[in-house]
């Protein structure tokens, strides 16, 4: 049953469409339409006939007791309220109603069921406004019409013709009863070119007559957005919510129709404005941290730019809008306001306007200085959640732009000297990690000295945060480098618009300084904290970045970790650290090998010092002989210990005490393995793991426990010639170069 009625409705719709397609603008005469037309002729659709009646009925036809009229009205009304009327039906009915061909009562009744199914043709509305100008319609009916236009405004297919009759619509503004609705409609139609001095004056006259009416003020405030040089206005905060909705009559029917039509037409029923309501709950005397509101600039509007079409950022609400108006967007009067809007930031990133950035930096620097350095506000520097909120917003802005502001940078250098290391720590360190490359000549004074003081006098957790921050900083520097190296070709020294405006060697010096500085921090930090594994983990994070600088970021620089980091990591009691050290050594090897290859190929493209290779080989040799060969402390190695001294320690077999079996980090695994291999054996002999196949199995066992770093290290650095051999024992020698 339902299906059947559905079917008739579709037929009805389609036949209707084709019937009126003569007058319709888009007459796409496809086969389908022709087919429908044929069917229509057969059936003689009642809905179409009804519309035909309304479009043709003579003016002055009696409406009281007119059964034909009543029957047709009911038919269209039912369609309108249930499925919505197609565009052409809207045109017909609106014209019928507004022309008052059968009096005002019918007009109101028609207006009430004019629910659009898809869109409202703009010509219909223009036509209706024309009828409005004739001036025969009762005021209350005019109000209903205007409310209807406001309700369906977003469904009007285009608005350019409506804007063309802006002046006609404006003329109704003096009509007291219509004024609120007219103002609202004008608000929706206003463009910069429609703001004229005489209109401003008219509205101001009205304001004197009617008092501070919200609708007048809202329209005037929009005028101010477009032409601040003509009118000025301070909206009281309670009045910032926007226009009232006038859609009560149609709301239920409209949403029902839209729901039924699968909500394909997304009409914003509530036409409230996006006026940002500022909450001024805080009673602070100074508002350094308050973002200024987006408002258009008074000055730029004067004379020359008036003729040019501009789009104030204030009016920007969506990304497509941004794309459409990219060529004519006007920067706001206060650049600080951009910080609050990601759309505006997109634009800022796109324009690359020096002055704009400078203005933003002035504002930002001022806010930061006043709040955290001069403390000229109410003294409560940063303690408030407001400061937290501000810094978080700044952080997210910088992450959005993927670059730190120079004013933030300048501020941080000053602030580090007075910072206690705990105030807003995550935010401050976050900002610090965003700073661009600092030239090596002043990096120590600006960054290292203040940081070092804080580092050595603070808790373990702070130390970890600092290392993490410096790791992020290095990552960002390297990323910038790799991006610009890609963009400009490798020879970045010749190009002037690199982010750092510094030569490759200058950049390398800075990176070198940073890495060495972290090396020093790490060495002392590990001593101070008793080689705490948490700290060690952050330090190893850092070296994971360092070891891959050549391969990952294309920077011809390899810096080895200092002994104060290497040995604590190697002798760490947790297997994770040793494993990560294995991975780091593996990556170092990869980087150094390919650097050497490239050096040989290109001849003198860059030069990694022999010292670096030497250091690496030392570490490698030691690590292999320690973990693999059980030959620690032999003469000629990095660490030599006198035999007698070793004897004094009374450690049995000191040389083997850090091999993969006896290393404190792996001892547990060795025991586990031993137990699994020989479940019934009561006496524990770990050395038996070293023999024969067991060693291989033990390695497999370790690798299966997730020690992939170790696996990569062993597979890359230990040349196991005789793996498949008869005694597949550790016949291996570390590769040396």
Partner 1 sequence: MEERNSIVKTPLNNVLAQRRSKSYRRSMQSCVEATNLEYTSGHLTALRTPRSRRTPKSRDITKQVDPDQVALLVTKEWQLSYVTPLYHFRHTQLKYYSKQLSAFIVSEKQQGLAIEVGQELGFKVNFSVVLGLAEMDEDAETVFIQILSKQAFAAKDDAQKVVWSGWLTCVNGDLEYLRSLPSEFVSLPLLCTRGPESLTVLIKSWFEKTFDCCFGPLGINSTNLQWLAALWTGCHPTINIQYLKLVWTLPTLPPMDVKYTIHPQDAWELWDSVRQDDITDVSIEEVTRFIKVLQSHFFRHFRIDLSAGSLMQVSTALGSSHHSGKIKIASPTYITTILQLLTECALLKMPI
Tokens of 265: 């037409």
**Residue 501 near partner 1 by CB under 8 A:** yes
Cβ proximity of 510 and 439 under 8 Å: yes
Cβ proximity of 119 and 156 under 8 Å: yes
Taking the mean position of all CA atoms in its chain, how far away is CA 316? 17
CB of 331 to partner 1, least distance (A): 9
Say which DSSP state 330 is in. Answer: E
DSSP class per residue in 43-89: H--HHHHHHHHHHHPPTT---TT-HHHHHHHHHHHHHHHHT-B-HHH
Q: Which of 104, 242, 340, 410 binds partner 1 (CB under 8 A)?
A: 410
Q: Which of 91, 179, 325, 407 binds partner 1 (CB under 8 A)?
A: 407
DSSP class per residue in 153-168: GGGBS--HHHHHTHHH
CB of 334 to partner 1, least distance (A): 5
**Alpha-carbon distance values, 319 to 346, 427, 545 (Å):** 9, 29, 36
**Residue 675 near partner 1 by CB under 8 A:** no
CB of 442 to partner 1, least distance (A): 6
**x-marked contacts with partner 1 along 169-208 as a string, rule CB under 8 A:** -------------------------------xx-xx--x-
What is d(CA 256, CA 82) in angstroms, rounded to the nearest whole number? 8
Q: Which is nearer to partner 1, 374 or 461 (CB)?
A: 374
For residue 121, which of 102, 93, 101 has the smallest C-alpha distance?
93
For residue 306, which of 320, 296, 317 has the smallest C-alpha distance?
296
Residues 239-278 that bind partner 1 (CB under 8 A): 239
Residues 561-580 that bind partner 1 (CB under 8 A): none
Q: Which of 299, 305, 457, 505 binds partner 1 (CB under 8 A)?
A: 299
Number of residues that bind partner 1 (CB under 8 A): 80
DSSP class per residue in 698-714: HHHHHHHTT-HHHHHHH
> How many CB atoms within 10 Å of residue 636?
6
Q: Which of 189, 298, 343, 512 binds partner 1 (CB under 8 A)?
A: 298
Cβ proximity of 275 and 241 under 8 Å: yes
Q: Which is nearer to partner 1, 188 or 220 (CB)?
A: 220
CB of 478 to partner 1, least distance (A): 17
Q: Which of 27, 232, 272, 457 binds partner 1 (CB under 8 A)?
A: 232
CB of 647 to partner 1, least distance (A): 53
Q: Which is nearer to partner 1, 24 or 334 (CB)?
A: 334
Q: Which is nearer to partner 1, 439 or 562 (CB)?
A: 439
Q: Which stretch binds partner 1 (CB under 8 A): 250-258, 403-411, 551-559, 624-632?
A: 403-411
Residues 6+ apart with CB under 8 A from 203: 173, 216, 219, 220, 223
- Helix (H) or strand (E) holding 188, with range, is helix 179-189
For residue 372, which of 400, 407, 335 has the smallest C-alpha distance?
407
The strand pair at 733-734 and 718-719 is best described as: antiparallel
**Residue 342 near partner 1 by CB under 8 A:** no
Residues 343-372 that bind partner 1 (CB under 8 A): 349, 352-355, 357-359, 361-370
Q: Which of 108, 126, 130, 373 binds partner 1 (CB under 8 A)?
A: 373
∠ CA 589-629-734, rounded to 5°: 30
**Residue 498 near partner 1 by CB under 8 A:** yes
Cβ proximity of 653 and 627 under 8 Å: no
CB of 309 to partner 1, least distance (A): 21
**x-marked contacts with partner 1 along 300-339 as a string, rule CB under 8 A:** x-x------------------------------xxxx---
Q: Which of 217, 467, 526, 559 binds partner 1 (CB under 8 A)?
A: 217
Torsion of CA 98, 104, 109, 115, to 10 degrees: 10
Tokens 């690199």 sit on residue: 498
CB of 149 to partner 1, least distance (A): 25
CB of 494 to partner 1, least distance (A): 16
Q: How large is the angle between the packed helices 87-98 and 122-134, nearest 10 degrees?
A: 0
Q: Which stretch binds partner 1 (CB under 8 A): 214-222, 556-564, 603-611, 617-625?
A: 214-222
What is d(CA 430, CA 453) in angstroms, rounded to the nearest whole number? 19
CB of 238 to partner 1, least distance (A): 9
**Residue 678 near partner 1 by CB under 8 A:** no
Q: Which is nearer to partner 1, 481 or 580 (CB)?
A: 481
Q: Which of 126, 230, 576, 667 binds partner 1 (CB under 8 A)?
A: 230
For residue 250, which of 146, 388, 382 has the smallest C-alpha distance?
146
**x-marked contacts with partner 1 along 275-294 as a string, rule CB under 8 A:** -----------------x--
What is d(CA 150, CA 185) in angstroms, rounded to the nearest whole number? 6
Q: Which stretch binds partner 1 (CB under 8 A): 219-227, 578-586, 698-706, 715-723?
A: 219-227
What is d(CA 291, CA 70) in angstroms, rounded to the nearest whole number? 60
Cβ proximity of 649 and 643 under 8 Å: no
Q: Which of 401, 460, 475, 667 binds partner 1 (CB under 8 A)?
A: 401
Q: Which is nearer to partner 1, 92 or 203 (CB)?
A: 203
Sign of the dihedral defined by the CA atoms of residues 576, 579, 581, 587, in that order:
negative
Tokens of 288: 């350094």
Q: Which stretch binds partner 1 (CB under 8 A): 298-306, 640-648, 653-661, 663-671?
A: 298-306
**x-marked contacts with partner 1 along 413-452 as a string, rule CB under 8 A:** xx--xx-----------------x--x-xx--xx--xx--
Q: Which stretch binds partner 1 (CB under 8 A): 54-62, 252-260, 397-405, 517-525?
A: 397-405
Report the first-to-last Cα separation within the chain, whole angstroms: 88
**Residue 500 near partner 1 by CB under 8 A:** yes
Residues 6+ apart with CB under 8 A from 168: 129, 133
Q: Which of 57, 63, 235, 671 binds partner 1 (CB under 8 A)?
A: 235
Q: Which is nearer to partner 1, 233 or 647 (CB)?
A: 233
Q: Which is nearer to partner 1, 299 or 457 (CB)?
A: 299
Q: Which is nearer to partner 1, 17 or 409 (CB)?
A: 409
Length of the chain measured in residues:
737
CB of 322 to partner 1, least distance (A): 19
**x-marked contacts with partner 1 along 454-493 as a string, rule CB under 8 A:** ----------------------------------------
Alpha helices in 383-424 (DSSP H): 385-401, 406-418
- Return the SS3 of 316: coil
Residues 578-607 that bind partner 1 (CB under 8 A): none
- Helix (H) or strand (E) holding 733, with range, is strand 733-734
**Residue 388 near partner 1 by CB under 8 A:** no
Q: Which is nearer to partner 1, 439 or 654 (CB)?
A: 439
**Residue 386 near partner 1 by CB under 8 A:** no
CB of 431 to partner 1, least distance (A): 13
Q: Which stretch binds partner 1 (CB under 8 A): 410-418, 525-533, 601-609, 677-685?
A: 410-418
What is d(CA 192, CA 181) in angstroms, rounded to the nearest whole number? 20
**Residue 231 near partner 1 by CB under 8 A:** yes
Residues 6+ apart with CB under 8 A from 427: 388, 391, 392, 395
- Helix (H) or strand (E) holding 357, with range, is helix 354-368
Q: Which is nearer to partner 1, 84 or 336 (CB)?
A: 336
């Amino acid at each position: 049953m339902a299906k059947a009625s559905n079917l008739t409705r579709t037929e009805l719709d389609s036949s209707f469409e084709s019937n009126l397609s003569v007058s319709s603008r888009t007459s796409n005469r496809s086969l389908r339409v022709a087919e429908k037309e044929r069917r229509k002729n057969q059936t003689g659709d009642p809905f179409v006939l009804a519309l035909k009646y309304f479009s043709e009925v003579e003016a002055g036809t009696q409406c009281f007791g007119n059964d034909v009229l009543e029957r047709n009205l009911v038919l269209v009304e039912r369609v309108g309220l249930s499925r919505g009327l197609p565009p052409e039906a809207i045109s017909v009915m609106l014209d019928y109603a507004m022309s008052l061909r059968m009096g005002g009562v019918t007009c109101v009744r028609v207006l009430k069921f004019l629910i659009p199914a898809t869109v409202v043709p703009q010509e219909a509305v223009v036509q209706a406004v024309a009828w409005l100008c004739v001036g025969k319609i009762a005021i209350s009916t005019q109000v209903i019409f205007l409310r209807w236009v406001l309700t369906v405004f977003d469904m009007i297919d285009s608005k350019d013709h409506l804007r063309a009759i802006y002046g006609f619509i404006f003329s109704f503004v003096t009509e007291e009863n219509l004024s609120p609705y007219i103002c609202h409609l004008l608000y929706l139609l206003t463009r910069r070119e429609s703001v004229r001095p005489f209109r401003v004056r008219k509205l101001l006259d009205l304001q004197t007559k009617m008092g501070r009416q919200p609708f007048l003020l809202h329209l005037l405030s929009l005028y101010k957005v477009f032409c601040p040089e003509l009118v000025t206005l301070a909206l009281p905060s309670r009045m910032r919510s926007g226009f009232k909705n006038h859609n009560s009559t149609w709301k239920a029917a409209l949403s029902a129709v839209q729901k039924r039509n699968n909500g394909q037409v997304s009409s914003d029923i509530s036409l409230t404005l996006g006026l940002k309501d500022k909450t001024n709950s805080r009673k602070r005397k100074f508002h350094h941290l308050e973002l200024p509101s987006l408002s258009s600039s008074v000055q730029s509007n004067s004379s020359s730019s008036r003729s040019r079409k501009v789009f104030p950022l204030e009016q920007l609400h969506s990304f497509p809008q941004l794309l459409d108006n990219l060529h004519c967007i006007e920067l706001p009067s206060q650049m600080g306001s951009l910080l609050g809007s990601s759309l505006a930031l997109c634009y800022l990133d796109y324009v690359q306007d020096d002055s704009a950035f400078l203005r933003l930096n002035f504002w930002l620097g001022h806010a930061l200085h006043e709040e955290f350095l001069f403390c000229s506000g109410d003294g409560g520097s940063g303690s408030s959640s407001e400061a937290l909120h501000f810094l978080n917003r700044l952080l997210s802005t910088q992450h959005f732009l993927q670059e730190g502001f120079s004013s933030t940078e300048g501020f941080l250098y000053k602030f580090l000297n007075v910072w206690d290391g705990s105030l807003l720590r995550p935010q401050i360190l976050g900002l610090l990690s965003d700073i661009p490359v600092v030239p090596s000549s002043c990096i120590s004074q600006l960054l290292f000295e203040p940081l070092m003081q804080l580092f050595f006098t603070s808790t373990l957790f702070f130390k970890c945060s600092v290392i993490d921050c410096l790791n992020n900083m290095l990552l960002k520097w390297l990323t910038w480098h790799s991006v610009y190296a890609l963009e400009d070709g490798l020879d970045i020294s010749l190009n002037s618009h690199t982010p750092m405006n510094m030569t490759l060697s200058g950049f390398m010096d800075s990176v070198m300084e940073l890495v060495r500085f972290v090396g020093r921090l790490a060495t002392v930090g590990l001593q101070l904290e008793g080689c705490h594994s948490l700290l060690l983990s952050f330090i190893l994070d850092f070296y994971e970045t360092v070891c891959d600088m050549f391969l990952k970021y294309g920077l011809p620089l390899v810096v080895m970790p200092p002994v104060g980091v290497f040995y604590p990591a190697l002798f760490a009691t947790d297997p994770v650290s040793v494993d990560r050290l294995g991975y780091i050594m593996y990556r170092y090897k990869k980087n150094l090998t390919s650097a050497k290859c490239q050096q040989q190929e290109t001849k003198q493209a860059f030069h990694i010092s022999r010292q670096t290779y030497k250091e690496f080989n030392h570490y490698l040799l030691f690590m292999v002989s320690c973990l693999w060969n059980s030959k620690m402390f032999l003469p000629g190695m990095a660490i030599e210990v006198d035999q007698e001294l070793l004897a004094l320690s009374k450690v049995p077999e000191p040389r083997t005490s850090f091999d993969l079996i006896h290393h404190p980090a792996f001892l547990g695994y060795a025991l586990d393995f031993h137990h699994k291999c020989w479940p019934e054996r009561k006496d524990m002999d770990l050395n038996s793991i070293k023999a024969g196949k067991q060693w291989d199995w033990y390695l497999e066992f370790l690798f299966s426990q997730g020690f992939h770093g170790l696996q990569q290290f062993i597979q890359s650095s230990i040349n196991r010639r005789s793996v498949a051999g008869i005694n597949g024992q550790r016949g291996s020698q570390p590769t040396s170069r």
